[in-house]
Amino acid sequence: MSDRQITRHPLTWPEGQSRTPRWMRQSSSKFRTSFAKARDQLLAELRRLGVEDDEDVILSTEIPTRLDGLPYANRAPTSDDPGVAVYWTARDGKPMAMACDNYDKVIGNLRGITLTLEAMRAIERHGGTDLMNKAFAGFQALPAEGQTGSSPWYVTLGFERAPGTFDTVKSKYRQMILDVKRSGNDSGVAHESEVQINLAMQAAREHFGCS
Q: What is the CATH number of the domain that holds 179?
A: 1.10.287
30 and 96 co-located in one domain: yes
**For 20-70, how does the pLDDT look when each residue is reduced to its tens digit (9 = 90+)?**
888 889 999 989 899 999 999 999 999 988 888 888 899 999 999 998 888
Question: Taking Cα atoms as reference points, which of 96, 4, 101, 95 lies closest to residue 62?
Answer: 101
73, part of any domain: yes
39 & 129 share domain: yes
Pair 129, 33 in one domain: yes
Collapsing DSSP to helix, strand or coil, 122 comes out as: helix
Based on the fold, state whether residues 48 and 133 are members of the same structural domain: yes
Q: Given this model, what pLDDT does residue 148 score?
A: 44
Residue 202 binned pLDDT confidence (cut-offs 50, 70, 90) = confident
**pLDDT average, residue stretch 98-110:** 93
Domain count, the chain: 2
144 pLDDT above the threshold of 60:
no
pLDDT (mean) for 152-161 = 83
Residue 193 lies in domain: 153-208
Whether 11 is covered by a domain: the verdict is no
Whether 92 is in a domain gets the answer: yes
Interacting residues of 134 by C-beta distance below 8 A, sequence separation 6+: 188, 189
Judge if 30 and 120 occupy the same domain: yes
Distances (CA, A) of 37 to 32, 70, 76: 10, 13, 16
Please tell me the pTM assigned to this model.
0.65
| CB of 15 closer than 8 Å to CB of 142 | yes
6 is a domain residue = no
pLDDT at 186: 57
Quick one: how far is CA 164 from the chain centroid? 31
The C-alpha atoms of residue 93 and residue 105 are separated, in whole angstroms, by: 31
Query: Which of 54-63, 67-76, 199-208 shows the lowest mean pLDDT across its residues?
Result: 199-208
How many CA atoms are closer than 13 Å to the CA of 190, on its beta-carbon side? 11
Same structural domain for residues 158 and 108?
no
Residues 107 and 133 in one domain: yes
Confidence (pLDDT) at 128: 61
Which range, of 74-88, 149-163, 164-178, averages the lowest pLDDT? 149-163
